[in-house]
Structure 1
Amino acid sequence: MTKLVVAKFGGSAIGPDGISIPKIIQRITNLKKDAKVIAVFSAPLTIDNGKKRSLTDVILEQGENAANGTAPSLEIIKSTYQKILELVNSENKERCRNIIDLNLEKVRKALDETTENKEFVDEVRSRALAFSGEILMSHVMNYILRSNNIKSESIDFEDWPIITDNNIESTNFLTSESRAKIEKTEKIVEQNEVVTIGGFIGKTTDNVMTTYERGGSDRTAADLGILFHKKYETSIDFEKDSAVVSADPKIIESGLREVHQLSYNEARLAGMFGMKILDPIAIKEIVENGVDMSITVTNMKNPDKITIIKRTLDEQKGHPIKIVTGKENCAIFRIETASIQRLLTSLDKDKRYSEFIILSPFTKDGMEFSRILFLDGDYVKRNEKYLLGFDSLATITYNRGVITLIGDEMWRVQQVASRTSAKIGEAGLNILNMDAQEETSRIVIVVEDTKDNIRKAISAIHQEISKINFI
């Protein structure tokens, strides 16, 4: 069976104004030596007032300007692609320039509609994002690859293989509907060494453009793996600034350990709790579709440094606690246990939302209450009316932070709960809740989300891990 690598390149991999694209060319050239490649691209970065910034954020700002009556500007967008265009050779430059102009005209029309309607939402928002970011970048990268003698082709939105439901701004992948639309993409993959496609973007069966939530390009890579795994020996490769290490390098500057393998479960938990490894929903979709394929996180600057993510791990010899991570801006939702099942069913079936965990229940005045820790406080704020509809006496507490330890075999670590809680206390933090479950090898510690509490807790625990013995 022919090999296929779905390689995802995020904004940081592309770099400001495409500065890292030569490295991307090298990586794709190496990957295509023994496999076909589908390259998934996010929106590029730019430099705005001396700071790195995603074009996604730029266009969101311009969309809000348009909605509020301020004339939007595409100058930053144009300038970024003008610089990237310099990487296209003379043979392909004119066609590439025309593609840029055509897509930015679509963005302009979307912003004009925003000004007229005084709102930047739904399909108009999706079109502005896609044609200034992911879709446009995939077309530009196609011409850059051709300029480097690579046989490539890009996927037009008319032939888009990622079919989703009708939730426009936070959409959900529909597997069977996507399989029904995959034929054109399959032919393009067969005929080329490399195929480029924009991440983050989907469309409904009625051809309405949709978007995943931020980080959605990871989901696009996973979805393409799901669609192609029966026809090709398929793997997924996330090209990043580094492979996975034992904590966020922005928090822990020294003493980081390389993580060579993660299970699907470990990778999903790490993503849910703040490690920017990959979107946890990408893993969820792979598991839900019964697919077992290898995922690699590659240090693009040093491709020998990799982390393998797979369903069943090889025998593990290192420390069972692989990662210490944390998440700010969480919320705890307390609800009568008698009402929780209806809410959980609705979150799954109606919202298709899973970025939460169930904490241990408690009893008060003879009544049992359940607690849901939502890992995105903003999601709860947007959906307060919906959540409280399941129990008008339910309560919500915001400004909570959570720290967790990642490791499927954490049960082998001696005194892990007592040692970690003690270190948090020594760091001067008050533990509001500690939830330890042997069955899930999970320890969740909730603290108040103020100042640098989460960073202090992660630093304290990470330093202690190497000192704790394990079986």
Structure 2
Amino acid sequence: MKVIKFGGSSLASATQLEKVLNIVKSDPERRFVVVSAPGKRNDEDTKVTDALIKYYKHYIKGADVKADQEWIINRYQAMVDELGFKSKEMVKIAKAITDLATLPIEDNDFLHDTFLAAGEDNNAKLIAEYFRNNDIEARYVHPREAGILVSSEPGNARILPGSYDKLEELRESDEVLIIPGFFGVTSDNQICTFSRGGSDITGSIVAAGVKADLYENFTDVDGIFAAHPGVVYEPHSIPELTYKEMRELAYAGFSVLHDEALLPAYRGKIPLVIKNTNNPDHPGTRIILEHQGATVPVVGIASDDKFVSINMSKYLMNREVGFGRKVLQILEDLNIRWEHMPSGIDDLSIIIRERELTPIKEQEILSYLTRELGVDEVEIEHGLSILVIVGENMRDHIGVTATAAKALSEKNINLEMISQGSSEVSVMFVIETEQEKEAVRALYDAFFRSNN
């Protein structure tokens, strides 16, 4: 039994939907299909989700929304026309789109989520009908019926534990069930979306709930590459990753799979495979709990920018009980999440994402550290990137960090700091953002091209 998820690029046009149909038809074990909203048909096109955001903004401002409604409805109708069947669902889809503009604006915390979720929800209705017209017994299932119950956190919904028991009941269906991704329903029946890339999360939740044998996540690439193909020329695809490795790579910039989507499948011990809708025979990248055989020490290299480092020094810092707690307290008071915290005996640095800071918060931090904690020196350094080499087998190989440091040194790339967690799944380097791409290429050459 397989759960299969298709992203927006896989559902953007009639041509893509025909590929999706053939993929589902080719394997009777593909019983649960989670769908995103239609993506871009070309570079100049607009995603349906982006059109819904525009529609929402016009509606709350009291502007005329007729053009927004017509564009979105016509976007679905165009796919129906290209596929060449007469859709009964289009009447329901058109009504669902126009009815969004009848929802209350005041005191409606879930209005934005309801608008956004309409892309996935209506696409699922259309795809279920298309499948039925092509000899697949398919049924649209709203997340409410499926049992995807979530917390009341608009834009950041969390699945409630009781949902999994309800989801397991879906196993009894003889039909192919088409489930819209990206959102669930709260206890008081409000539409509430997951965070970005939320359809991946839905797919993972459904896979765990129905105790699937495999969760297939179809995108527009042949699995996951060892480095970003926009930075490294023709990097190789990775045949197998562990969940821990994928989590590290997703955190550090690999956008193929939402990192939160890993958790339900990981806890449910469901194998996951990333595959290409446009090349479905390619084996893709398989994500599992543990490697099945020998593998290389480094499986992938990732990087991400827009980081900031709060650097502070205080003589005899290590002897001051509670110093670290007091530093983190100011971040908590300012609602700032921290990422890493390397330290020395008299020095401490805290790495945070740039979006967490504002000029006012910066001044609050500097003032607190100087006035309340009496640090000798403090600075906030901007323009930093995090570079990560990932591989669970690094712990069994000597010299991995030395190889990385040597490769960066030969390219005159200065290391601001180095950090490694106790699990030894990854080694992190902080460098200046202007050197990020060159650093990724240097590490890829050191760990992969040198072995060819």
TM-score range, shorter chain: 0.7 to 0.9
Aligned length: 426
Deviation at 1:244, TM superposition (A): 1.7
> Structure 1 residue 155 and structure 2 residue 149: aligned?
no
Q: 2:17 aligns to what? A: 21
Greater shift, 142-151 or 294-303, is seen at 294-303
1:168 to 146, 149, 154: 154
1:310 to 281, 288, 293: 288
The 1:216/1:340 distance shift into structure 2, 3 A limit, reads farther
Measure the CA separation in 2 of the matches of 1:415 and 1:282: 33
Deviation at 1:421, TM superposition (A): 2.9
> Structure 1 residue 123 and structure 2 residue 120: aligned?
no
Residue aligned with 2:285, SS: strand
Deviation at 1:8, TM superposition (A): 0.8
The 1:458/1:28 distance shift into structure 2, 3 A limit, reads same
2:78 to 74, 79, 83: 83
Deviation at 1:96, TM superposition (A): 1.8
The 1:69/1:105 distance shift into structure 2, 3 A limit, reads closer
Deviation at 1:5, TM superposition (A): 0.9
> Structure 1 residue 200 and structure 2 residue 182: aligned?
yes
Deviation at 1:272, TM superposition (A): 0.9
Percent pairwise identity: 19
Structure 2 runs not aligned, ≥5 long:
313-322, 371-378
Q: 1:280 aligns to what? A: 259
Measure the CA separation in 2 of the matches of 1:377 and 1:63: 28
- The amino acid of 1:330's aligned partner reads F
- The amino acid of 1:108's aligned partner reads A
Measure the CA separation in 1 of the matches of 2:393 and 2:166: 41
Which digits, 9 at most, give the CA deviation of each residue in 1:440-467, with x for residues without a partner? 23211112334xx332221221122126
Structure 1 runs not aligned, ≥5 long:
none
Greater shift, 237-246 or 76-85, is seen at 76-85
The 1:340/1:53 distance shift into structure 2, 3 A limit, reads farther
> Structure 1 residue 393 and structure 2 residue 369: aligned?
yes
Q: 1:441 aligns to what? A: 425
- The amino acid of 1:23's aligned partner reads K
Q: CA RMSD in A?
A: 3.3
Residue aligned with 1:431, SS: coil
TM-score under structure 1 length normalisation: 0.80
- The 5 Å alignment of 1:13-92 reads 13-15=10-12, 17-32=13-28, 35-47=29-41, 51-68=44-61, 70-72=63-65, 73-86=68-81, 90=85
Measure the CA separation in 1 of the matches of 2:218 and 2:327: 40
- The 5 Å alignment of 1:418-457 reads 418-437=402-421, 439-450=423-434, 453-457=435-439
Measure the CA separation in 2 of the matches of 1:55 and 1:249: 27
> Structure 1 residue 326 and structure 2 residue 303: aligned?
yes
Measure the CA separation in 1 of the matches of 2:35 and 2:329: 38
The 1:68/1:381 distance shift into structure 2, 3 A limit, reads farther
Measure the CA separation in 2 of the matches of 1:160 and 1:310: 26
Deviation at 1:138, TM superposition (A): 0.8
TM-score under structure 2 length normalisation: 0.83
Confirm or deny: 8 A CA contact 1:267 1:277 kept in the other structure.
no
Question: Max radius of gyration: which structure?
Answer: 2
The 1:322/1:52 distance shift into structure 2, 3 A limit, reads farther
Confirm or deny: 8 A CA contact 1:18 1:84 kept in the other structure.
yes
Q: 2:317 aligns to what? A: none
Confirm or deny: 8 A CA contact 1:18 1:45 kept in the other structure.
no
Confirm or deny: 8 A CA contact 2:385 2:430 kept in the other structure.
yes
Confirm or deny: 8 A CA contact 2:38 2:48 kept in the other structure.
yes
Measure the CA separation in 2 of the matches of 1:458 and 1:99: 49
Deviation at 1:219, TM superposition (A): 0.8
Which digits, 9 at most, give the CA deviation of each residue in 1:299-346, with x for residues without a partner? 2233232221111220124x22111111122344679422478799x8
- The amino acid of 1:239's aligned partner reads F
Measure the CA separation in 1 of the matches of 2:380 and 2:181: 34
Which digits, 9 at most, give the CA deviation of each residue in 1:61-82, with x for residues without a partner? 3333444555442343223211
Which digits, 9 at most, give the CA deviation of each residue in 1:228-273, with x for residues without a partner? 11xxx5321111221122112222222x223111111001111111
The 1:158/1:442 distance shift into structure 2, 3 A limit, reads closer
Residue aligned with 1:360, SS: coil
Greater shift, 212-221 or 76-85, is seen at 76-85
Deviation at 1:169, TM superposition (A): 1.4
Q: 1:253 aligns to what? A: 233
